[in-house]
Amino acid sequence: MTAVAELVDFDEVVATYDPVLGLEVHVELSTNTKMFCGCPTTFGGEPNTQVCPVCLGLPGALPAVNGTAVESAIRIGLALNCEIAEWCRFARKNYFYPDMPKNFQTSQYDEPIAFNGWLDVTLDDGEVVRVEIERAHMEEDTGKSLHVGGATGRIHGASHSLLDFNRAGVPLVEIVTRTIEGTGARAPEVARAYVRTLRELLKALDVSDVRMDQGSLRCDANVSLMPKGATEFGTRTETKNVNSLRSVERAVRHEMSRQAGVLATGGSIRQETRHFEEVSGTTRPGRAKETSEDYRYFPEPDLVPIAPSREWVEELRGTLPEPPEERRKRVQADWGLSDLELRDLDNAGAIDLVAATVAAGAPSGEARSWWVSYLSQAANSRGVELGDLPISPAQVASVIGLVAAGTLTNKLARSVVDGVLEGEGDPEQVIESRGLKVVSDDSALLVAVDEALAGQPDVAAKIRDGKVAAAGAIVGAVMKATKGQADAKRVRELILERVNA
Amino acid sequence: MTDLIRLTAAELAAKIHSGEVSSVEATQAHLDRIAAVDPAVHAFLYVDAERALQAAKAVDEEVAAGRAPVSPLAGVPVAVKDVLATQGSPTTCGSKLLEGWIPPYDATVTRKLLEAGTVILGKTNMDEFAMGSSTENSAYGPTRNPWDLDRIPGGSGGGSAAALAAFEAPLAIGTDTGGSIRQPGAMTGTVGVKPTYGTVSRYGLVAYASSFDQAGPCARTVLDAALLHEVIAGHDPMDATSVDTPVAPVVAAAREGARGDLSGVRVGVVRELVGEGHQPGVLASFEAAVRQLRDLGAEVVEVSCPSFDLALAAYYLIAPSEASSNLARFDAMRYGLRVGDDGAHSAEEVMSLTREAGFGPEVKRRIIVGTYALSAGYYDAYYGSAQKVRTLVSRDFDAAFGQADVLVSPTSPVTAFRIGEKVDDPVAMYQVDLCTIPSNMAGNAAISVPSGLSDGLPVGLQIFSPALQDHRGYKVAAAYEAARDAAQGGSLIHRVPELEVSH
């Protein structure tokens, strides 16, 4: 065992080295059935209940291609500005692994369905980085191994393993970038922004659940360092098990510091697969890749080539959602946003959410305000992405509507939103259970107003003399007395009525 | 009483459908025959008498109720090569690795046989995973040729062919990757057909080499083969390589051919398949057969397919390459043999121990060859070059079919050899497939029909048809068969020696 080298401070890393990234994203398609058989693809079923002779690789069983998966793959390719192959084939990737039923994965090799594309990603400060896409290809997922008796579910030390083949054969599209160079200190941020933008795009295409926590979107981050000015890439590592956008950024950042540490002590980087540890934010070595494994790819003889007609491809192009950049421009015009406001909205990853909230009936200003400020803070404090908050745009729109109708004050509205985030149900249910309805019964309010006026006769006199601004003090007192449940606007009206009566 | 086991399938079907004979009687007669001669022949790996009789009874009830038979072969017994999945019955592929495996599903061919009301007697012996030319590679012991029990019946489908020649079944299913239906047909004096690739579903056929494998009918007459062909052929959405075209009219072609007129038919003799390495008796039989075709009115021309000389070598790179991947699934994780599962071995070690213990030497040889041929740095030289040869073979066929309606050659350069004779010489064994492999390379259709005897052993005439034109070969084969029987004074198959019956 080699001693673990010290991590190098990130600023020092980027002063000495240029990082080179390569990102491989696996997307599980949300088709009803698997890639090559009719089994359902729903997540979370009892182990081995969604299987058949085909996806179990029983002797004699043969694959038949899921047309919807091909359609999704083409749409993904088009949305990534790729060329779509006029003719392509599946290939067998041969290697033995217990959770892979046939001991080969039906994938694509030198003939991917989509290739040569790009995706523009916007960083936090508005800088746009173009990420080149090498290819997007179709393949099938493997089953899952559950190692029992060892530490933390790892195979090392396990007494036995259980296999679940429900996931075996679920359609995947693997999207591979070309090397991303020249991003320097922003490399971790670029990695995160790329996966985020890709995720938004896939969501808009409606081809996948894109749930990183459930593995329907998985990112492998290839990272290497080369000394500044060098032209030859350093040895890369591939980090897997990166299960959130935040982890993508952390994993790249950590790997840069770790590799610099190894290099600083005169060591060399091993080409290997590493696993990201969510808790510590570090990576640990997995399977060593001393040489690139020989997968003995060859064309899958059980399937015929796929030759998507140009008419079909154009028809699918017509089904694409608006490209993100054009959408941003349109949204800016529609909602009358300044460049800065648009950037805030984009950085928060809130455009889709605001649009959906507006679509649910809310004015764009309020919708934007909720998502960019209050809900963004909530997401930050919970360490999740905005879109992963357990509140829907429709629920936000409903809260906004209740405020507009005077049923909720802004303060109460925040409490309602908190309740929804805590899983207490829809806004209406939260209002009910938390007793948050605005006090709108004037008689109850009048008592409070009278008490407040009586308590501060000097202020009452000022108001009577026409110093209307002084009413604020009374409003405050009433709000305090009603524990904030009164509508401040109505309280002010009542105060003026009472004083001038 | 007629000897039921010696009838053709067509004759037997007619008797069953007319009520003259029950399917149960016919089935029982074959089961009795199996019990009597199979200890010597060893054509079967598994016989399910109960299930067969049950299926036969169902057909008899239909007949008794006056309903039309569900197919022309309803009630006729059939033997199935043990490489096709049969739900509820063991399917071993002649390997220890699958000993005891009972498929939870039926192959499409199996399903079609059941739906057609045929009576499945059991599963026939074969070279392990269909890799072999003599059935000596079966993990369960060799099958013996009914013409001479010291000799091999051909392979890999020696069990199906021997079952026909021993009158244990009137019909059988085989699979043909490099000649495994036709070559045993030739060596046992029976008819074997490799249909056009993609016309009979491969779903449930345990793959040896996916791009070559094709199931087909085995019978004692051309008409019987055609009847079985029409039962098992047809498009299957479960097999992506299945072609969606109507089944070739092979029964009509066989009946037409039996009238004995081949005028207007051009027959091409493939120069490269008639020459060196063939036994003189095989060549003599072939020349006599060609004369007979000419007498039937066919125009005979010579064609040349120069790339056929490379076909054997190319086949023995591509087929093992596919096999190395197809057989990777036999890893002890989900079914079949499991060795070393004692808590002391890892899953990977169990996989390795199981494959070491479960595969026979020929299977291991082909997995190793195929693994090598696909390896980085060797792929282009081996797999890649072999695929180019494959293209050349197809082009040669195309050119030859431009000059002739069908092509002919001997099916096998040799007659049945003695058990053990070639086991230590794999290359000599591979060369037995010399004449059959080109058709698998190109994916077209080919029939082997008996062309007489050489030193008392059967010889086969092979007739190639262009892809999807299977009926052409049937017509020529049926015409030849009728003329041969007329010339030789009766059906060849009835000259098979009486087998000693065990009681």
Mean pLDDT, to the nearest integer, of A400-410? Answer: 86
B91 touches chain A (CB under 8 A): yes
Tell me whether residues B240 and A304 touch, CB distance under 8 A.
yes
Tell me whether residues A94 and B240 touch, CB distance under 8 A.
no
A301 to chain B, closest Cα gap in Å: 5
Give the chain B residue nearest A298 (alpha carbons): B374
Cβ A453 vs Cβ A481: under 8 Å? no
- The pLDDT, as a whole number, for residue A440 is 66
Mean pLDDT, to the nearest integer, of A361-374? Answer: 92
∠ CA B249-B253-B258 to the nearest 5 degrees? 160
Tell me whether residues B240 and A303 touch, CB distance under 8 A.
yes
Mean pLDDT, to the nearest integer, of A279-300? Answer: 82
Structure tokens given for B52? 């067969």
Question: Regarding beta strands A298-299 and B457-465, do their DSSP bridges make them parallel or antiparallel, or are they unpaired?
Answer: unpaired
Of A58, A64, A301, the CB nearest to B322: A301
A462 touches chain B (CB under 8 A): no
- The pLDDT, as a whole number, for residue A1 is 39
Q: How confident is the model at residue A352 (pLDDT cuts 50, 70, 90)?
A: confident
- The pLDDT, as a whole number, for residue B1 is 40
Listed range (A105-114, A244-253, A333-342, A440-449) with the worst mean pLDDT: A440-449
Cβ B127 vs Cβ B138: under 8 Å? yes
Residues of A in contact with B206 (CB under 8 A): 59-60
Tell me whether residues A98 and B211 touch, CB distance under 8 A.
no
**Residues above pLDDT 70, as percent of chain A:** 96
Which active-site residues of B does the annotation give?
81, 156, 180
Highest mean pLDDT among A421-430, A492-501, B329-338 belongs to B329-338
Q: Of residues B389 and A473, which shows the higher confidence score?
A: B389
- The pLDDT, as a whole number, for residue A304 is 96
Matching CATH number, B4-308+391-495, of 3.10.20.90, 2.40.70.10, 3.90.1300.10, 3.90.660.20 = 3.90.1300.10
B472 to chain A, closest Cα gap in Å: 27
B376 touches chain A (CB under 8 A): yes
Cβ B27 vs Cβ B56: under 8 Å? yes
Structure tokens given for A460? 């009452």
CA atoms within 13 A on the CB side of B210: 25
pLDDT in tens, A220-245: 999 999 999 899 999 999 999 898 99
Residues of A in contact with B105 (CB under 8 A): 53, 58, 61
A227 touches chain B (CB under 8 A): no
Listed range (A90-94, A460-464, B203-207, B491-495) with the worst mean pLDDT: A460-464
Residues of B in contact with A301 (CB under 8 A): 209-211, 241, 322
Three-class secondary structure assignment of B35-92:
HHHHHHHCCEEEECHHHHHHHHHHHHHHHHCCCCCCCCCCCCEEEEECCECCCCCCCC
Give the chain A residue nearest B212 (alpha carbons): A301
Listed range (A30-34, A321-325, B366-370) with the worst mean pLDDT: A321-325
Of B107, B241, B330, the CB nearest to A60: B107
Domain range list for chain B: 4-308+391-495
> What is the number of other CB atoms lying within 10 angstroms of the CB of residue B43?
31
A457 touches chain B (CB under 8 A): no
- The pLDDT, as a whole number, for residue B459 is 98
Whether the pLDDT of residue A314 is over 70: the answer is: yes
Of B237, B241, B351, the CB nearest to A96: B351
Contacts of B71 (CB under 8 A, 6+ apart): B115, B116, B117, B118, B231
Domains along the sequence of chain A with CATH: 10-301 (no CATH), 325-434 (no CATH), 442-499 (1.10.10.410)
B2 touches chain A (CB under 8 A): no
Report how far residue B493's alpha carbon sits from residue B166's, in angstroms, rounded to the nearest whole number: 9
Residues of B in contact with A59 (CB under 8 A): 85, 91, 93, 98, 101, 103, 206-207, 329-330, 335
Cβ A45 vs Cβ B188: under 8 Å? no
B369 to chain A, closest Cα gap in Å: 13
Question: Regarding beta strands A128-140 and A144-148, do their DSSP bridges make them parallel or antiparallel, or are they unpaired?
Answer: unpaired
Residue given tokens 């046989």 in the structure block: B113
Tell me whether residues A59 and B101 touch, CB distance under 8 A.
yes
Q: Which of residues 83-112 of A touch B (CB under 8 A)?
A: 92, 94, 96, 98, 101-104
The one-digit pLDDT tens for each residue of chain B (503 residues) are 459 999 999 999 999 999 999 999 999 999 999 999 999 999 999 999 999 999 999 999 999 999 999 999 999 999 999 999 999 999 999 999 999 999 999 999 999 999 999 999 999 999 999 999 999 999 999 999 999 999 999 999 999 999 999 999 999 999 999 999 999 999 999 999 999 999 999 999 999 999 999 999 999 999 999 999 999 999 999 999 999 999 999 999 999 999 999 999 999 999 999 988 899 999 999 999 999 999 999 999 999 999 999 999 999 999 999 999 999 999 999 999 999 999 899 899 999 999 999 999 999 999 999 999 999 999 999 999 999 999 999 999 999 999 999 999 999 999 999 999 999 998 889 999 999 999 999 999 999 999 999 999 999 999 999 999 999 999 999 999 999 999 988 899 999 999 877 66
- The pLDDT, as a whole number, for residue A344 is 84
Tell me whether residues A59 and B84 touch, CB distance under 8 A.
no
- Surface-to-core class of residue B231, CB atoms within 10 Å of its CB (0-12 exposed, 13-18 middle, 19+ buried): buried
Q: Of residues A345 and B227, which shows the higher confidence score?
A: B227
In sequence order, the β-bridge partners of residue A224 are A20
- Surface-to-core class of residue B381, CB atoms within 10 Å of its CB (0-12 exposed, 13-18 middle, 19+ buried): exposed
- The pLDDT, as a whole number, for residue A147 is 86
Q: How confident is the model at residue A117 (pLDDT cuts 50, 70, 90)?
A: very high
B351 touches chain A (CB under 8 A): yes
Which of A58, A92, A109, A155 has the most B C-beta neighbours within 10 Å, making it the best mutation to test the interface with B? A58
